[in-house]
Amino acid sequence: MTDSSTGGPTPGGWPFDPVSGGAASGGAASSGREPRPDPPPVPSPAPAWVPGGAPVAHGARPAGVPPQPLVPPPPVVPPSGASRQTAAPGPNRRRTLMIVGLVVGVLVLGGIVTAIVMTMNRSASPVAAVTSTTTLPSPTPTIGPAAREKGSAFLDALPSSVLRYAWASVAPDETWRASGALEAYDVVYTDGGSGKVTVRAGQWRTAAEVAAVRAALVTDLTSKAATPSPTAGSTASAAPASSTGDVTVAGATVGTWSIVPRADGSGTVVWSNGTALFEATAPAAELANLYAAFPL
């Protein structure tokens, strides 16, 4: 700025003439630089607390700080995609849940029906009977055997009792001795009452001789049992069938046994053991047990 009277600069003034807003704008435009905005005002620092002074209240605006505009909270955006379907299930999800429920119901119903059918079948099926075998101990005599005199090794080997029968008496058997036996005996066993068993025991030189005597004896017994003699006031009846088998010792066959029952309820069992031959006459129901219990 210049003084109008002197033409020189005004004391205390700017050495250049002031430029108008238009000139300034034109200059800025001509220089090619964009104008810079004015920097924001720097807020005044909060007043420090002075010891002994009053504290500044929480949230109070310190002096010199302009009020700040209130910023509204961001709007709540509803969930989209899978979250929106979870909040409000659509028709497809409801249809899926219905199908799953129907499948589970059918499976449960099928299991219940199967269990009922199996229970009915189990109740209707017959219960298999359990077969049990009871082995009774062998009967023993209720009386003691009669006194025995010492004899041959074969005679002493004959048992003093067999099943419920005890030794009662012994006598030589002349019939078998006449047929070639080295020795033969008739032994009577008794139960102390009416029960009695008669045993014939003989020994030959060879097993072939024993086999021949046994075969002839069984043939004679079978013939007599097949044609019984009727008693007074009764008619003859057929005897039960006879049976035969091998006599084995330690797995080896040493002879033959034959059981010949008679129509009157009695019978005879004949068996050979090497060079020895035995014949026992007793009730037919006891013949098999007598043969099995006899030690020779």
* Domain extent listing, the chain: 153-226+241-293
Q: What is the pLDDT of residue 147?
A: 94
- Residue 259, beta-bridge partner list: 243, 269
- Among 237, 281, 226, 236, CA closest to 259: 281
9 phi-psi bin (left φ>0, alpha ψ -120 to 50, beta other): beta
- pLDDT surpassing 70 at residue 10: no
Q: What is the pLDDT of residue 90?
A: 65
pLDDT band of residue 82 (cuts 50, 70, 90) is very low
- Among 171, 184, 160, CA closest to 279: 184
Rg value, the chain, Cα:
67
Q: Tell me if 263 sits within 8 A of 238, measured CB to CB.
A: yes
The number of CA neighbours under 13 Å toward the Cβ of 237 is 9
Of the two residues 154 and 50, the one the predictor is more confident about is: 154
Tokens matching residue 175: 């019939």
Q: Tell me if 283 sits within 8 A of 194, measured CB to CB.
A: no
Quick one: average pLDDT of 42-56?
55
Residue 113: count other Cβ atoms within 10 Å of its Cβ: 10
Of the two residues 74 and 226, the one the predictor is more confident about is: 226
Of the two residues 252 and 47, the one the predictor is more confident about is: 252
* 3-state secondary structure string across the chain: CECCCCCCECCCCCCCCCCCHHHHHHHHHHHCCCCCCCCCCCCCCCCCCCCCCCCCCCCCCCCCCCCCCCCCCCCCCCCCCHHHHHHCCCHHHHHHHHHHHHHHHHHHHHHHHHHHHHHHHHHHCCCCCCCCCCCCCCCCCCCCCCCCCCCCHHHHCCCCEECCEEEEEEEECHHHHHCCCCEEEEEEEECCCCCEEEEEEEECCCHHHHHHHHHHHHHHHHHHHHCCCCCCCCCCCCCCCCEEEEEEECCEEEEEEEEEECCCCEEEEEEEECCEEEEEEEEHHHHHHHHHHCCC
Tokens matching residue 206: 């060879």
Which tens digit of pLDDT belongs to each residue from 216-258? 999 999 998 877 666 555 555 666 888 999 999 999 999 999 9
Please provide the average confidence, as pLDDT, over all residues in the chain.
Answer: 77
Residue 209: count other Cβ atoms within 10 Å of its Cβ: 16
- pLDDT surpassing 70 at residue 107: yes
Q: Tell me if 216 sits within 8 A of 225, measured CB to CB.
A: no
Quick one: average pLDDT of 137-150?
89
pLDDT band of residue 108 (cuts 50, 70, 90) is confident
Residue 273: count other Cβ atoms within 10 Å of its Cβ: 18
Judge: domain 153-226+241-293, CATH 3.40.1000: yes
- pLDDT surpassing 50 at residue 21: no
pLDDT band of residue 95 (cuts 50, 70, 90) is confident
Handedness of CA 22, 27, 30, 36 (dihedral sign): negative
Is the model's pTM score more than 0.75?
no
